[in-house]
Structure 1
Amino acid sequence: MRLFALRDYRHLFGAQVIALFGTGLTTVALGLLAYDLAGPRAGLVLGTALTIKMVMYVVIAPLAAAYVDRLPRRTLLVLLDVIRAAVVLALPLVSEVWHIYVLIGLLQAGSAAFTPTFQAVIPDIVTDEAAYTRALSASQVASTMESLLSPVLAAVALTFMSFDNLFLGTTAAYLISALLVLSTRIPDARPSAHTKAWDKAASGIRTFFRTPRLRGVMALNLVVAAAGSIVVVSTVNYVRDRLGGGQSDVAWMLASSGSGTLVAALVLPRVLDRVAARSVMLTGAGVLVGGTAGAVALILSGAATWAGTAAVWTVIGIGMALIITPTGKVLRASVERNAIPEVFAAQFSLSHLAWLVTYPIAGWLGTNAGLPLAWTVLAVLAVAGGAAALALWPRHDRTTAPATPVTGTLTRASLSKAA
């Protein structure tokens, strides 16, 4: 099956790409806004804002999954895009740090409901297994292109405009995304086997804890968050204060991480056809452990160089792609079709729970105790997560999807067989 021959998938993929580019512009602009308001304490402000984001993701995503089968999914996705556009439009108007916190809370509440709903739509549109694997890779390529090209576009834009204009680009991107979603034929969610909202919200979490391979995924979430927090939270202060760079230099350094992710994501579709997801993802954990060790070596040596920092950021980008790209395939292989929204929402919450731990370390500890200590703690967490994943994920895991759809939830026996 030719993936992009599917009209509805093309439109949804276009919506994802455009919204991601807008989000990427906001990521750069938010860091610069924090530096503009707080100067050397920008890491603290950014860390707090991102912690609020993670709290919203952890709390809202399971609730969204609990109610998604009661609402038209297309209408919900369009409404959430419009809400996010309105919130981003207000960000350039802030004059106090607490304004950032309030608006980020509203923005990320919308994203927390949007993302797992969007992810759960794709298996209903792309039903062929091979095509779905490529859809996952295409989604990761889109994310990595955002992390690569959005900072580049931001760097170019910042040469002739102030950073607050980047928020206007995000607003436009969300509105275009809403129009593309509106043009698709998205089937409503299949009724869940759970009738109570709390049962729906908790079922995905329970599936993670009782499925060996998904316990391994939870550990790998910590590895990704530990390494990623160094890049996301610390880049602005590291580039501005340690390397003496300007606004556009921050964007270029973020782009170096995105370039590593892009290279890995382009190679992975063929690799995943021949190599087990477990092997690929554990390799990614090893790469991220090496990347965090390299970051610690840079900061402790005091020899801050542009080339050395860019190399470490690129390695971290590669490692993140190796873990994140196969995750959707592993999730789909672990549950039956009517449980996909619940398990995707659970992964969304659990992965961001890991970021909820690491963002404050990078932001608060990095600001108050220094980057060397913060990065060392994050490197230790990356090692712990990698070791836990290796122990929790069975070596002979086959990662095969259930052969036939069943209307109920997976039994404990069928989960054991699948894992």
Structure 2
Amino acid sequence: MSEGDTGDGRPATFGEVFAVREFRPLFGTYTLSTIGDELARVALTVLVYQRTDSPLLSALTFALSFLPWAVGGPVLATFADRFPRHRVLIASDVVRALLVAAMALPGMPLALLLVLLLMVSLLAPPFESARSALMADVLEGERYAVATSLTNVSLQVAQVVGFVVAGGLVTVLDPSVVLLLDAATFLVSAVWLAATLERRPAPVAALDDGVGDGSPSSVWRDAAEGLRLIGRTPRLLSIIALLWTGTLFANAAEGIAVPLTESLGEGPAQLGVLLAANPLGVTVGGLVVARLLGTARSERLMPVLVALSLAPVLLAGLVAVAAGPGRGAYAVVVALLFVAGLGASWTIPLNVSFVQAVPAAYRGRAFGVAVSGLYGVQGLGALGAGLAAERVPPGAVVAAAGGLGLLAVVPPLLGFARTRAAVAGDGPAAGPSVS
């Protein structure tokens, strides 16, 4: 029995999860780095919009940190299975700290800033895949389910803090200072992880750098193994389809948050609050899912939660179009985005279902595929919203995202319901397991 297993099948408590020694640094560094990332993302987005007055370029800046997942995420994520996962985490943080610090150099041209941002984003796939896989290594059963809820809540809290603080900081500080704060979070994270994580061998070490048939391994072949595992498992396919589709439409409005806030007659400080509304809702919803509903009940309520994550987005867009500038309209839009966040907690039980269907030795690659698509659709959604907002009011774009999303999630929801009885290992194996 692992350190993360309760051993008697009973629901785990928050205290039992935090009692797992290696969960604490994984949880704490993830929260810290996320806060720093949101500070930098908002600062750069505002900076680009101020220089260009273009919703499309502003959305491009916001989306740039997501797009590398879509381009190279499945390949880059294989490092989480090819190398010791603790080393992947530490090395990624150190390099990102150096790159973000370079972004803070005075007089940095805008084009070079975006190139450095892209390079920082390329390190996210191996880091996130290693972190997610290591979480499943140190925690099992109900402790893993509760830890997943806590991590998702942590993500949303970090985004709330990051967005709100960023909205205030960009009004009083130079963006370079905000970027240095982000670099510091990566450095602290690297030191914390190096001091606390257990040294484990690479998950594929037992395969002698091959795939069990004498043929040499490569990042391309490892990535293909992850894709084949998902392609052969109906349960995994249904989970990923629901995750990608729901996220695409629910988060598209983030890419045009700056022009949307401006259309409501508000400024940078209110931008941070608007961006924080949805993550705050997910925080509250995540706590309910973790301790009150439980994984099984949350799965049964999935259609209701998914609808709740999209219908308020539709209403928020309609309010923005109909009301126009005015603090009353802004407050209603923020409230509706908060409610949408409550529904978005459906991703927590979905994450647990995904882990249960993936063999341990392939979690890095499988997470890489899932998260690559997740970030990819977020980036594409932000870009699509920015492109549409060049011609139509931002509120109309938000309403369209919510309405289209409600229609688009119906097929993947039906697929998820049909495969609910499936268990891990039902699909053909993608390769030998070293668990």
TM-score (norm 2): 0.84
Contact 1:148 1:262 in 2 (8 A): no
Contact 2:78 2:126 in 1 (8 A): no
1:316 aligns with 2:340: yes
Contact 1:136 1:328 in 2 (8 A): yes
| Match for residue 45 of structure 1 among 57, 81, 100 | 57
- Seen in structure 2, the aligned counterparts of structure 1 residues 23 and 51 have a Cα distance that, compared at 3 Å, is closer
CA distance in 2, matches of 1:255, 1:54: 18
CA distance in 1, matches of 2:271, 2:79: 40
1:21 maps to what in 2?
A: 35
| Match for residue 302 of structure 2 among 281, 305, 312 | 281
1:416 maps to what in 2?
A: none
Contact 1:235 1:253 in 2 (8 A): yes
What SS does the aligned partner of 2:123 have?
A: helix
Deviation at 1:94, TM superposition (A): 5.7
2:137 maps to what in 1?
A: 124
Q: Where do residues 242-321 of structure 1 align in structure 2 (5 Å cutoff)?
A: 242-271=263-292, 273=294, 275-304=296-325, 305-320=329-344
User: May I ask how many residue pairs the two structures share in their alignment?
Assistant: 402
Contact 2:319 2:395 in 1 (8 A): no
CA distance in 2, matches of 1:392, 1:86: 44
Moved more, 331-340 or 212-221: 212-221
CA distance in 1, matches of 2:218, 2:100: 34
Structure 1: tracts of 5 or more residues without a match: 411-419
CA distance in 2, matches of 1:350, 1:94: 35
2:416 maps to what in 1?
A: 393
Q: Cα deviation per residue 1:269-289 (whole Å; 9 max; x = unaligned)? A: 134536345334333320122
CA distance in 1, matches of 2:315, 2:230: 32
1:54 maps to what in 2?
A: 66
Deviation at 1:358, TM superposition (A): 1.2
- Aligned letter for 1:110? L
CA distance in 2, matches of 1:160, 1:372: 28
CA distance in 2, matches of 1:67, 1:219: 24
1:233 aligns with 2:233: no
Moved more, 290-299 or 166-175: 290-299
1:417 maps to what in 2?
A: none
1:104 maps to what in 2?
A: 117
CA RMSD of aligned residues (A): 2.6
1:69 aligns with 2:81: yes
What SS does the aligned partner of 2:409 have?
A: helix
| Match for residue 6 of structure 1 among 4, 10, 20 | 20
Deviation at 1:163, TM superposition (A): 4.1
1:138 maps to what in 2?
A: 150
Deviation at 1:408, TM superposition (A): 4.2
Contact 1:148 1:258 in 2 (8 A): yes
- Aligned letter for 1:365? A
Structure 2: tracts of 5 or more residues without a match: 1-5, 7-15, 212-216
1:170 aligns with 2:182: yes
CA distance in 1, matches of 2:398, 2:172: 34
What SS does the aligned partner of 1:187 have?
A: coil
- Seen in structure 2, the aligned counterparts of structure 1 residues 100 and 316 have a Cα distance that, compared at 3 Å, is farther
Deviation at 1:339, TM superposition (A): 1.8
CA distance in 2, matches of 1:197, 1:70: 8
What SS does the aligned partner of 1:245 have?
A: coil
- Aligned letter for 1:312? L
Contact 1:331 1:343 in 2 (8 A): no
CA distance in 2, matches of 1:186, 1:21: 27
CA distance in 2, matches of 1:334, 1:168: 40
- Seen in structure 2, the aligned counterparts of structure 1 residues 135 and 189 have a Cα distance that, compared at 3 Å, is farther
Q: Where do residues 302-381 of structure 1 align in structure 2 (5 Å cutoff)?
A: 302-304=323-325, 305-320=329-344, 322-381=345-404
- Seen in structure 2, the aligned counterparts of structure 1 residues 276 and 333 have a Cα distance that, compared at 3 Å, is farther
CA distance in 2, matches of 1:282, 1:90: 45
Moved more, 323-332 or 387-396: 387-396
Contact 2:76 2:219 in 1 (8 A): no
Deviation at 1:131, TM superposition (A): 0.8
1:198 maps to what in 2?
A: 220
Q: What fraction of aligned residue pairs are identical, expressed as a percent? A: 22
TM-score (norm 1): 0.87
- Aligned letter for 2:269? S
CA distance in 2, matches of 1:388, 1:94: 50
CA distance in 1, matches of 2:310, 2:33: 30
| Match for residue 234 of structure 2 among 212, 216, 230 | 212
What SS does the aligned partner of 1:7 have?
A: coil
1:187 maps to what in 2?
A: 200
CA distance in 1, matches of 2:96, 2:431: 35
Deviation at 1:316, TM superposition (A): 2.5
- Seen in structure 2, the aligned counterparts of structure 1 residues 58 and 94 have a Cα distance that, compared at 3 Å, is farther
CA distance in 1, matches of 2:379, 2:165: 28
| Match for residue 36 of structure 1 among 37, 50, 70 | 50
What SS does the aligned partner of 1:393 have?
A: helix
CA distance in 2, matches of 1:94, 1:398: 58
- Seen in structure 2, the aligned counterparts of structure 1 residues 338 and 107 have a Cα distance that, compared at 3 Å, is same
- Aligned letter for 1:185? E
Contact 2:314 2:401 in 1 (8 A): no
CA distance in 2, matches of 1:73, 1:100: 29
- Aligned letter for 1:245? E
Greater percentage in helix = 1
CA distance in 2, matches of 1:8, 1:85: 22
What SS does the aligned partner of 2:374 have?
A: helix
CA distance in 1, matches of 2:188, 2:286: 25
CA distance in 2, matches of 1:213, 1:228: 24
CA distance in 2, matches of 1:160, 1:67: 40
1:415 maps to what in 2?
A: none
CA distance in 1, matches of 2:31, 2:63: 25
- Aligned letter for 2:133? A
Q: Where do residues 83-94 of structure 1 align in structure 2 (5 Å cutoff)?
A: 83-92=95-104, 93=106
2:13 maps to what in 1?
A: none
CA distance in 2, matches of 1:17, 1:353: 22
